[in-house]
């Protein structure tokens, strides 16, 4: 049988490779003997990233690189917030009831002494600037029992009417000073060891111009406090 002089050639089929895959191709021969490009699957980190976030796409209007940087920054900010909240909650443990200067113990406590203009206090007692009264920290006031800030009646707080003795060394007078004070109020800006008193009391312990001085104080009698 006669044959033609040339064999029919088989047309080469071109395979389009996306730009982001061109770095992962190899050459091989197809059944006709033609060498063609074929993508090679990679199990590396870059390949996994490309599978989740294809580089040719845009994310909320941003390129992949800018989007991933913004995403990383958001994750780090969230992590910092979580750590900050955890630290704050952990720090709050220092105000646990056993560490507070509540009545019932005989320890001496230290803090800042300041003065304010008294009026109708949290205990329902009206006082003026000459009375020997004191406002104790909201932290120990609320820990002791009923408080309006907790939906109760602060007039019934067991600290109301209780006595404490405040003392300090007056540098100007060169002598120790002390005064007995009655609890009539709750100081929202005071730390557990701080006391806020009338101007008349403050000037018995320090010069008015001082404004804020250190003080040592202790309860004069044990007081039963709520749970």
Confidence of residue 92 (pLDDT cuts 50, 70, 90): very low
* Whether 82 and 121 share a structural domain: no
Residue indicated by tokens 């003795």: 165
Closest CA to 122 of 148, 150, 104, 152: 148
For residues 131 and 62, membership in a common domain is answered with no
Taking the C-alpha atoms of residue 197 and residue 185, their distance in angstroms, rounded to an integer, is 9
Domain co-membership, 113 together with 191: yes
Going by pLDDT thresholds of 50, 70 and 90, the confidence category of residue 226 is very low
- The domain boundary, picked from 42, 57, 91, lies at 91
- For residue range 140-164, what is the model confidence (pLDDT) as tens digits? 999 988 777 767 789 999 999 999 9
Residues 41 and 68 in one domain: yes
**166 found inside a domain:** yes
- What are the structure tokens assigned to 186, written together? 């709750």
- Domain housing 78: 22-91
| Residues 162-210 pLDDT 10s | 999 999 998 877 889 999 999 999 999 999 999 999 999 999 999 999 9
Residue 91 has pLDDT above 50, yes or no: no
Percent of the chain whose predicted confidence (pLDDT) is above 90: 45
Q: Are residues 140 and 60 in the same domain?
A: no
- Please report whether residue 9 resides in a domain: no
Residues 53 and 76 in one domain: yes
Give the per-residue pLDDT at 167: 96
Same structural domain, 59 and 148: no
| 211 domain-assigned | yes
Is it the case that residue 13 has pLDDT exceeding 60? no
Q: Which helix (H) or strand (E) holds 166?
A: strand 163-170
- Of 91, 113, 134, the residue at which a domain comes to its end is 91
- Do both 191 and 108 map to the same domain? yes
27 belongs to a structural domain: yes
Residues 6+ positions from 169 with CB-CB distance below 8 Å? 175, 176, 177
3: in domain: no
Whether 165 is covered by a domain: the verdict is yes
CA dihedral 186, 187, 192, 193 (to 10 degrees): -110
Asked whether residue 8 is domain-assigned, the answer is no
Token pair 């002089």 in the structure block, residue: 5
The pLDDT of residue 54 is 87
Residue 17, in any domain of the structure: no
Tell me: do 141 and 82 sit in the same domain. Answer: no
Q: Find the CATH number of the domain harbouring 208.
A: 2.40.40.10
Q: Which of 60, 91, 122 is the last residue of a domain?
A: 91
Residues 82 and 115 grouped into a single domain:
no
Radius of gyration, alpha carbons of the chain: 39
Residue 183 or 27, more confident: 183
- Half-sphere exposure in the Cβ direction for 83 (13 Å, CA): 6
Q: Total domain count for the chain? A: 2
How many other C-beta atoms can be found within 10 angstroms of the C-beta atom of residue 224?
9
């Amino acid at each position: 049988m006669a044959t033609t002089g040339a064999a029919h050639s088989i047309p080469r089929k071109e395979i389009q490779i996306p730009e982001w895959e061109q770095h992962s191709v190899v050459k091989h021969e197809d059944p006709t003997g033609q060498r063609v490009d074929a993508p090679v699957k990679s199990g590396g980190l870059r390949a996994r990233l490309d599978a989740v976030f294809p580089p040719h796409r845009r994310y909320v209007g941003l390129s992949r690189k800018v989007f991933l940087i913004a995403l990383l920054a958001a994750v780090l900010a969230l992590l910092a917030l979580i750590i900050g909240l955890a630290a704050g909650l952990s720090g709050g443990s220092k105000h646990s009831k056993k560490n507070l200067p509540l009545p019932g113990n005989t320890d001496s406590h230290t803090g800042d002494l300041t003065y304010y203009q008294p009026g109708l206090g949290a205990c329902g007692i009206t006082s003026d600037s000459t009375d020997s009264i004191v406002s104790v920290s909201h932290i120990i006031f609320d820990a002791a029992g009923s408080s309006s800030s907790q939906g109760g009646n602060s007039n019934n707080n067991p600290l109301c009417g209780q006595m404490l003795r405040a003392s300090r060394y007056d540098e100007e007078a060169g002598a120790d000073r002390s005064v007995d004070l009655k609890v009539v109020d709750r100081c929202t800006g005071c730390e557990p060891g701080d006391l806020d008193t009338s101007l008349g009391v403050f000037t018995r312990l320090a010069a008015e111009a001082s404004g804020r001085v250190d003080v040592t104080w202790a309860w004069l009698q044990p007081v039963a406090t709520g749970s």
